[in-house]
Amino acid sequence: MEKIRVGVLRGGISPEYDVSLKTGDSVLRHLPDDKYLPVDLLMTKDGMWHANGLPIDPAKLSRRVDIVFNALHGEYGEDGKVQRLFENYGIPFTGSSSLPSSIGMNKVLSKEIFKKVGLRTPSHYSVSSKRLKEELEHEDTFQYLLFEILGAVPLPLIAKPVSGGSSVGTYIIRDEKELARALTELAQTDWDILFEEFINGREATCGVVDSFRGQDTYSLLPVEIRPASDKTFFDYDAKYNGGTQEICPGNFTRRESEVIQNMAKLAHKALRLRHYSRSDFIVTPKGIYILEVNTLPGLTGESLLPKSLRAVGASLPEFIDHIITLALK
């Protein structure tokens, strides 16, 4: 039987370039070689495409691959843009289609959908990059913006890009001075900013997989995340440079685990995601809050989804084969 040519797309133009390289490398190494022929698709930081080291025009990609395993994290890879490109060229690809990807990447839009389907999520307020830059130029309007944010979201609060991942550009803000400092720094970027109520509780994450083990949407076991003592939350450094305890299955009650799993499945379905996703939660005595969804969770050696797979007796090669099979259908 002729092997299926799988292009593993990694790299990209976002701040998550290095993480994407690692996810792509993991997929390439764990691709079952009895049925798949790997093609290393690298997008450089300036947006140039390469196939096995040689430059390639994306319009001609269908001549080189039968399917793309999308390991491109962050901007362009998760926001629906590269998905639209594959859809236009008729190339099958893993992960969610273009519109659900763009909604899932946008924390404000996804939170609105969460609320519509009854998922509890922290209160929030958003400010566009354009407005932030304009208000910063005048002290009066900047002060008004500060009061506006504090009137909508109680302290302490979290500031983070509306569209972004891996906790890049995330601040915990405890008072007005910290808010002013964060706004000044964030105004140097082109990000729209989400201000979200800081919920004090235990961090959890839960992955789901489509059409797995006899279920339309199969929930993996929730992971409990315990940042190192010098970390207030699970930031970029904690995610990828060790020091964080990631316990799977997490130390949650049976009821808490069931609620997390059901919320992860509901979020996946409400956003019309496909193949797989992973949602993040805060567990408190007053209830469980969903923070956001990851439409293309990392698959590196430090990533959470592979640990969840191992906890239910599934290997990474088995998972990769399953996802490619889904995408080819």
- Which position has the higher pLDDT, 244 or 217? 217
pLDDT band at 230; cut points 50, 70, 90: low
Model pLDDT, residue 189: 85
Model pLDDT, residue 241: 53
Short-list 224, 239, 247, 249, CA closest to 312 = 249
Q: Which letter does DSSP use for residue 303 in this model?
A: -
User: 75-133: per-residue pLDDT in tens?
Assistant: 999 999 999 999 999 999 999 999 999 999 999 999 999 999 999 999 999 999 999 89
- For residue 156, the SS3 value is coil
Residue 200 Cα distances to 149, 169, 251, 288, 289, angstroms: 20, 20, 17, 11, 11
Q: Which letter does DSSP use for residue 118 in this model?
A: T
Is the bond into 249 cis (omega within 30 degrees of 0)?
Answer: yes
Short-list 254, 247, 248, 263, CA closest to 309 = 248
Q: How far apart are CA 274 and CA 36, in angstroms?
A: 22
**Could you give the domains of the chain?**
4-93 (3.40.50.20), 103-119+200-328 (3.30.470.20), 124-197 (3.30.1490.20)
User: 13-61: per-residue pLDDT in tens?
Assistant: 998 999 999 999 999 999 999 999 999 999 999 999 999 999 999 999 9
User: 243-300: per-residue pLDDT in tens?
Assistant: 689 999 999 999 999 999 999 999 999 999 999 999 999 999 999 999 999 999 999 9
Is 235 a residue whose pLDDT tops 60? no
Q: Which residues touch 77 (CB under 8 Å, ≥6 apart)?
A: 9, 12, 14, 20, 70, 71, 296
Specify the pTM: 0.90
User: 122-161: per-residue pLDDT in tens?
Assistant: 999 999 999 989 988 888 888 999 999 999 999 999 999 9
Q: Which residues touch 297 (CB under 8 Å, ≥6 apart)?
A: 207, 276, 277, 278, 303, 304, 305
Q: Which letter does DSSP use for residue 163 in this model?
A: B
Model pLDDT, residue 228: 74
Is 167 a residue whose pLDDT tops 70? no
Model pLDDT, residue 236: 46
* Secondary structure (DSSP) of 187-248: TTS---EEEEEPPPSEEEEEEEEEEETTEEEEE-PPEEEE--TT-SS--HHHHHSS--EEES
Model pLDDT, residue 190: 87
pLDDT band at 71; cut points 50, 70, 90: very high
